Amino acid sequence: MQVRAPLLILPLLCSNALAHTFIWGVFVNGIDQGLFKGIRTPPYNGGPNAGGYANSPIKDIDSIDLRCNVMGDIQAPDTIKVQPGDNLTFDWHHDYRNDSDDIIAFSHHGPSLIYISPDPPTENSFVKLWHEGLYETLPFPQPGKWSTTADIRANHGKMNVRVPKNLKAGFYLIRAEMIAFHEGEVAYTKNPRRGAQFYPNCVQIEVVGDGTVQLPEGVSFPGAYKYEDPGVVHDIYCSTETKTRTAVCTTTYPIPGPTIWSGAWAETTAVPLSPVTDGTVATPWSTWIQNSVVTSASYSDRKTVTVVGTSRYEAKWSTTYQTPAPATKRW
């Protein structure tokens, strides 16, 4: 039931002023598909006058938000058509979709992962296609190299994967994810002010062709990660700190989740990319969510927003495929 809010006019912050990282675009075989096309873009979290994030990190790994981020059950109005073997490049960003953007904070070291599931997901339907964690351990006092910062951030937000060979035609979700461990030395359940930060984002694809390969059983989100997993709770400073530490440190990192599916491509090399096709700046947020309450607003001259109403939100994942409805606007 919708609850009407009192008319309220607020100053509008820059749409991504405090944003964390999420996918802004997808390249197929190097060709840009457009700004936010096929992407279940997370809404603004916190309200324009209170601060917040376009992708507030998920720290509760038992939350449905771990699947495709906040309000991830809401479809994007478009789906990207691909064929088995196509190279997909996910373009992660923070403020702007260009090479001047910092992608993710330099302190947010951690692993990167990619899964695929039929759309809509079912129990144990997410299959891992790729992951990368602590990929180079250097002798002290040199910091080790982590996927999120030394790879994705250093390469302007580009994350690559290939559509599995001979994959059966149909609708799928690609779940791409980065995990940041700058506060991850303790579990969120033990200290809610800390805990690893998860940044999942889902992309809608339609695989075409006459492939016959079906995905095997995978894992569920939530459910794939446990707080007892050493890859979910990890002291990142053991591999990034350049000063001598007194604590006992581990020199390895076990990436969480299942092993990579044998049907995934062994190589996920980058390909040459076309120019970005339709914009590098996100539209100012006119909808935001906080504590499961969605606030709708209108905005003018990119300076003020007028609150027009609120409603309580509860994720409702369909069990059957629904054709995406055209959208009048994005978040």
pLDDT of 155: 97
pLDDT of 220: 98
Q: Give the model's confidence band at 221: pLDDT under 50 very low, under 70 low, under 90 confident, else very high.
A: very high
- Dist CA 290 CA 104 (whole Å): 22
pTM: 0.91
The mean pLDDT value for 259-269 works out to: 94
The C-alpha torsion from 116 through 117 and 123 to 129, rounded to 10°, is -20
Q: Give the model's confidence band at 288: pLDDT under 50 very low, under 70 low, under 90 confident, else very high.
A: confident
Does the structure show a pLDDT above 80 at 16?
Answer: no
pLDDT of 1: 38
Does the structure show a pLDDT above 80 at 303?
Answer: no
> Would you give the end-to-end CA distance of the chain in angstroms?
21
Does the structure show a pLDDT above 80 at 5?
Answer: no
**From 20-29, 97-106, 132-141, the region with the lowest mean pLDDT:** 132-141
Instruction: Show the domains of the chain with their CATH numbers.
Output: 17-283 (2.70.50.70)
The mean pLDDT value for 88-94 works out to: 96
Long-range contacts of 315-321 (CB under 8 A, 24+ apart): 315/64, 315/65, 315/71, 315/72, 315/73, 316/73, 317/64, 317/67, 317/73, 317/120, 317/121, 318/73, 318/120, 319/120, 319/122, 320/120, 321/119, 321/120, 321/171
Task: State how beta strands 22-28 and 145-146 pair.
Answer: unpaired
pLDDT of 11: 36
**From 9-18, 123-132, 219-228, the region with the lowest mean pLDDT:** 9-18
Rg (CA), the chain: 20
**Do the Cβ atoms of 261 and 126 come closer than 8 Å?**
no
Question: Which one has a higher pLDDT value, 246 or 10?
Answer: 246
Candidate ranges 14-18, 91-95, 209-213; pick with highest mean pLDDT:
209-213
- Dist CA 201 CA 304 (whole Å): 29
The mean pLDDT value for 38-58 works out to: 73
**Do the Cβ atoms of 258 and 224 come closer than 8 Å?**
yes
3-state SS, residue 265: coil
Burial of 325 (0-12, 13-18, 19+ CB in 10 A): exposed
Question: Which one has a higher pLDDT value, 188 or 328?
Answer: 188
Query: pLDDT digit string (tens) for 63-73?
Result: 999 999 999 99
Residue 195: CB atoms within 10 A of its CB come to 24
Question: Which one has a higher pLDDT value, 142 or 198?
Answer: 198
Contacts of 275 (CB under 8 A, 6+ apart): 32
Does the structure show a pLDDT above 60 at 50?
Answer: no
**Do the Cβ atoms of 104 and 198 come closer than 8 Å?**
no
Nearest to 162 by CA among 91, 88, 273: 88
**Do the Cβ atoms of 77 and 38 come closer than 8 Å?**
no
**Do the Cβ atoms of 219 and 255 come closer than 8 Å?**
no
pLDDT of 10: 37
Please give the mean pLDDT across all residues of the chain: 88
pLDDT of 48: 61
Does the structure show a pLDDT above 60 at 4?
Answer: no
Does the structure show a pLDDT above 80 at 12?
Answer: no
Q: Give the model's confidence band at 39: pLDDT under 50 very low, under 70 low, under 90 confident, else very high.
A: very high
Length of the chain: 331
pLDDT of 53: 57
**Do the Cβ atoms of 96 and 280 come closer than 8 Å?**
yes
Does the structure show a pLDDT above 70 at 330?
Answer: no
- Dist CA 25 CA 92 (whole Å): 7
